[in-house]
Amino acid sequence: MSHLHFIDYCIILVVLGITLYLGFRFSKKQNTTENYFLSKGNFPSWALGLSLLSTLISSVTFLGYPAQGFSSNWILLVQGLMVPIVLAGTIWFIVPLYRKVIGLSTYEYFERRFGGFARYYSSFSFILRQFAGMGTVLYLIAVAISSMTDIKSSFVLAVVGLILIIVNLKGGMQAVIWLDVFQGFMLFASGIICLSILLLSIKGGIPEALKVASENNRAGFGPYDLKLTQLTLIVMVINGAFYAIQKYGTDQTVVQRYLTAKTDKSAIRASMLGISLTIPIWTMFMFIGTALFVFYKQQGLPAGTKAESVFPYFMMTQLPTGILGFIVAALISAAICSLSADLNSLAAVGVQDYYKKLKPNRPDKQYLFVGKSMVVISGVIAVGIGCLYLVTGNEGVLGVVFTLYAIFSGGIVGIFLLGLFSGRANRQGVNIGIIACILFTAWAFLTSTPIGVHEKKLLLDFGKYNFTHHILMLGVYSHLVVIGVGYIASLFFPKPALDKNLLYSSWKANRHL
């Protein structure tokens, strides 16, 4: 396999230089926690929309989706396809709700509705999910760059992590947003370039690609039966509906964008733009994987090549000098931009949900210093998790990411939906629901997850009392447990005195005034 040319390295260095420049470009304005975490009102709707797009699309999209399309059909795309369906009816009241009742952290809403336990449980679940996802993104980028060059994966992790931390420390949210805009254009252009070259390289073009893909079960969204014990269409539809609410209704990285906008309408327009762009990009990169399968079925692929390595192998062997450098730069940029949003959001939650509770009424400069310190600490931890993935190995990265979302979702959507739609649900009942959810999740996870790939031995084996449904249903059930147990338990306690602004019914009533 050929290596990167000097011109390719120059292009990559230019892109990394632009990334660092944007970090330093806005450094003078990061003198308060509000500017550092929100920079409210400084962005047009289209920029926030592209930022949302880039936050949701990273190296996982760039490498994970082609790997999935190469090795299987399009079933994992269903989760993304559910996002616009669900949000078309919910984004209109989720955005104004948050902009009215919280200051910085999403989980302030959970405390105002159900007390401190709900807030800290939700924020801690978010932290767990973010670190798991960030480690996966760093692992992907390290493996991809290492396979294209003679650079060690650990060195790639260290360099990307260092740039990531510097950009966040200096530029705050302003750098994150404008980097997202830059990365969004690069990602879209790189996908079109790669797909065009692939289709032109396949003998017979698009008709042949579709024919071969269909004959080899690389098309469609099946299995289509109603079983919940395996990965089927119905499992992905249900999981995708809850994923959409969780990501756009309870995830700090997304909600922080709502707060950054100047007005409610601007935030809603940005959300709709981001949602509308994610679907074609997810689809494009999944189709790249399908086209890769057809191409290498015609051309042959070296034995032992893993699915995650096929796209990097294609880039190194089929793309011309210059184009290759641009694509690799877009890949690195995608990782840095999505991780920058993650780091900023983690620091925001750390300051707002934890440090301010421990040290209230301190000068804003102290909170800003702690926030930047948390950026550094979070970046180091994420790099450490990426290194752990390198040591232990990883299989089916896209499936792993979705599984982690299911496991660590922990009933958060259930808490959110009870808070929005039930004026009868109260703090005591929801706390009982959360405890029931923790017990259920522990049982389901331990009785359904093998210790090792080769051992296939369960962590706990209760025989016929094991959790037998697909692991992606675990997250769905955890939400339903919180809703069911939380509501029923609430009936045994007094009806709470509520701020009506925390309920959907209040938004609905005010809309007609």
Give domain limits for the chain. 6-392, 409-513
The residues, any chain, with a CB within 8 Å of residue 441's CB and separated by 6 or more, are 407, 410, 411, 474, 478
Residue at 15: amino acid letter: V
Peptide bond preceding 223: is omega within 30 degrees of 0, i.e. cis?
Answer: yes
- Identify the pLDDT of residue 117: 95
CB-based contacts of 240, cutoff 8 Å, min separation 6: 78, 79, 80, 81, 82, 83, 86
- Report pLDDT digits (tens) over 269-278: 999 998 888 8
Query: pLDDT per residue over 364-406, tens digit each?
Result: 999 999 999 999 999 999 998 888 888 776 555 555 665 665 5
Task: Please provide the size of the chain in residues.
Answer: 513
Spell out the residues 6+ positions from residue 258 whose beta carbon is closer than 8 angstroms to its own.
94, 95, 98, 99, 267, 271
**pLDDT (0 to 100) of residue 409:** 67
Six-digit token string for 203: 């003998």
Determine the Cα–Cα distance for residues 478 and 111; give it in Å rounded to an integer: 20
Phi, psi torsion values for 157, nearest 5 degrees: -55, -45
What value does the mean pLDDT take over residues 482-495?
Answer: 96
CA distance 360 to 367: 10
- Closest among 39, 43, 59 to 398, alpha carbons compared: 59
pTM: 0.90
- Asked whether 237 and 224 are in contact (CB, 8 A), the reply is no
What confidence tier does 454 reach under pLDDT thresholds 50, 70, 90?
very low
Q: What is the pLDDT of residues 333-359, one digit of tens each?
A: 888 888 888 999 999 999 999 999 999
Q: Radius of gyration over alpha carbons of the chain, in Å?
A: 23
Amino acid occupying residue 50: L
For the segment(s) 6-392, the CATH number from 3.40.50.720, 3.30.470.20, 3.40.50.300, 1.20.1730.10 is: 1.20.1730.10
pLDDT at 323: 92
Q: What's the whole-number mean pLDDT along residues 429-457? A: 81
Residue with tokens 């390295």: 9
